[in-house]
Amino acid sequence: MPHDDHDHPHALLPPEPALRVKALETILTRKGLIDPAALDEIIDTYQNKIGPQNGARVVARAWSDPGFKAALLQDATTAVADLGYYGRQGEHMVVVENTPEQHNMVVCTLCSCYPWPLLGIPPGWYKSDAYRARAVREPRKVLAEFGVTLPAETAVRVWDSTAEIRYLVLPMRPERTDGLSEDALAALVSRDSMIGTGLPKVPS
């Protein structure tokens, strides 16, 4: 039997969460198990260096370069690694393409699995009970809460990330974007359009 203890050790720490974190950091630092400077570095990485701008570059490249798009749909891990995107929580990537017939949407019902190297740390709603519970059963109602309404002829395919495969949605390229540079296209790619709860921005 796994250890199911009703007096979990965490209850020995202060109950207020910010103080709980602080207490544990202090204890671990005092014993030399944690270097606070390493924590700062981890935070800086996910706050400032790795985020949805990476995924947007991948999408913009796929929109611009049919060869890259084919490679991306065939073996996303290798294709995005060639652009410099690989690492923790992105070791096994699969990219799924939206079409007029099929809209893709990604969830992790069991925890919060998300393609970190391409999208960074998941937003709060992605980790919420409401999204985890409902995305698989009523994706269209969830999409409506994001302001997205799909045509009746478009089927929804929801990907529940139950293993170490991480999914990125390749949204459809918006109309009237012919001739735009990759940078201009990347600016149209919202984070949520790569999770499947949003659509790309339309050029103004």
Partner 1 sequence: MTRVHDMGGRFGDGPVEPGSEDDPVFAEEWHARALALTLAAGALGQWNIDISRHARERLSPKDYTRFSYYEKWISALADLLVERGVLTEDDLREAGSAEKHPLADRAMKAESVAGVLARGGPADREGGLKPRFSTGQAVRAVVPSDSALVAGGHTRLPRYAAGALGYILRLHGNHVLPDSNAHGLGEAPEPLYAVKFHARELWAHPEHPDDEVVLDLWQSYLEPI
- Site residues for partner 1, 160-179, by CB under 8 A, read 160-165
- Which pair of tokens denotes residue 59? 């999408």
Q: Is residue 56 within 8 Å of residue 186, measured between CB atoms? A: yes
Region from 60-68, 119-127, 169-177, 178-186 binding partner 1, contact rule CB under 8 A:
119-127
- Please list the active-site residues: 108, 111-113
129 binds partner 1 (CB under 8 A): yes
Residues counted in the chain? 204
Region from 61-69, 106-114, 170-178, 179-187 binding partner 1, contact rule CB under 8 A:
106-114
91 binds partner 1 (CB under 8 A): yes
Q: Assign residue 3 a region: left if phi > 0, alpha if psi is -120 to 50, beta otherwise?
A: beta
- Site residues for partner 1, 8-47, by CB under 8 A, read 8-10, 12-13, 17-18, 20-28, 30-35, 37-43, 45-47
Phi/psi for 14 (5° steps) reads -55, 140
Helix (H) or strand (E) holding 148: none
53 binds partner 1 (CB under 8 A): no
